[in-house]
Amino acid sequence: MENSSIQDKCSITSLLSDGSKRRDPEQLLQDIESIKLSLNQMLDLLRTTPDFHSEDLNDELSIIMERLIDVQSQQTDLLEEHRDYFIDVDAQARKLLLLVKEAKFLNDETNRFLRHLSSTSDSDSMLFKIVTQDMMNKNGSFIGKRKRLERSKVAVLEQWYSKNCDRPYLSDSMLLSLMGETGLSKIQIKNWLSNKRRKERGGLVSNELCDLLDESSP
């Protein structure tokens, strides 16, 4: 599309150049040298500026191509020794036009890849957090910030504990019953009872012994 636009402009200029004022060979040579200088400057810009504006370069190239066509319309007025020079400059301009097109394509593809990489990285990070949190919740090893149990649920557990203080250990049926009454999970109930037993025992037995008793309990 960009090349087509440039060619359109060049075609219009070509039509208009027929009526332009003819220049002598020396003036034509100066025009060619000026075009050569502009091409070299654009080439240096491409080499030293990774993030260039292809639209600006295309506009400049369009102007250069118009100037070349203008010179070409009077090519017969060039001295013989200058015609090969003009052909070389014209070829350089067309190569640079192709180079700008390729550079724009690579620049666009690089930016597209970086955007895709960034969005993929963000998605993977979010997915990792969700999966990790879900696994921790299921294992019961971590549930966000530790929250206090509701008073009504603690009251049910306290009532059960007071009735079974002589042997405050849960059977499977008792555990299921408390889960139904409180809506708490198996881990939450067991943790609460374990903490309760430690508090009740106070300093009479060590924590290590409490853990041993907990493990040996049904």
Structure token pair of residue 209: 């012994």
Task: Assign 128 a pLDDT band (cuts: 50, 70, 90).
Answer: low
**Among residues 199, 197, 192, which one has the least CA distance to residue 151?**
192
**Among residues 57, 64, 120, 116, which one has the least CA distance to residue 90?**
64
Instruction: Specify the residue for token string 């919740």.
Output: 137
Measured between alpha carbons, how far is 42 from 65 in angstroms, rounded to an integer?
13
- More confident call, 115 vs 5: 115
Same domain, 45 and 113: yes
Tens of pLDDT, residues 53-83: 666 777 787 888 888 888 887 777 777 778 8
Express as a percent the part of the chain with pLDDT over 90: 3
Same domain, 81 and 171: no
Same domain, 107 and 18: yes
User: In this structure, is residue 144 part of a structural domain?
Assistant: no
3-state helix, strand, coil in the chain (%, to 5): 80, 0, 20
Same domain, 104 and 13: yes
Same domain, 11 and 64: yes
User: In this structure, is residue 175 part of a structural domain?
Assistant: yes
Measured between alpha carbons, how far is 159 from 12 in angstroms, rounded to an integer?
97
Measured between alpha carbons, how far is 57 from 42 in angstroms, rounded to an integer?
8
User: In this structure, is residue 130 part of a structural domain?
Assistant: no
- More confident call, 207 vs 38: 38
Long-range pairs for 186-190 at CB < 8 Å and ≥24 separation?
A: 187/140, 188/149, 189/157
Q: What's the confidence (pLDDT) of residue 54?
A: 63
Tally of structural domains, the chain: 2
Measured between alpha carbons, how far is 152 from 182 in angstroms, rounded to an integer?
8
Q: Which domain, by its residues, includes 160?
A: 151-216
Same domain, 70 and 168: no
Question: What's the burial of 86, exposed, middle or buried (CB within 10 Å: 0-12/13-18/19+)?
Answer: buried
User: Which string of DSSP letters, residue by residue, matches 139-201?
Assistant: HTS--SS--PPPHHHHHHHHHHHHHTTTS----HHHHHHHHHHH---HHHHHHHHHHHHHHHH
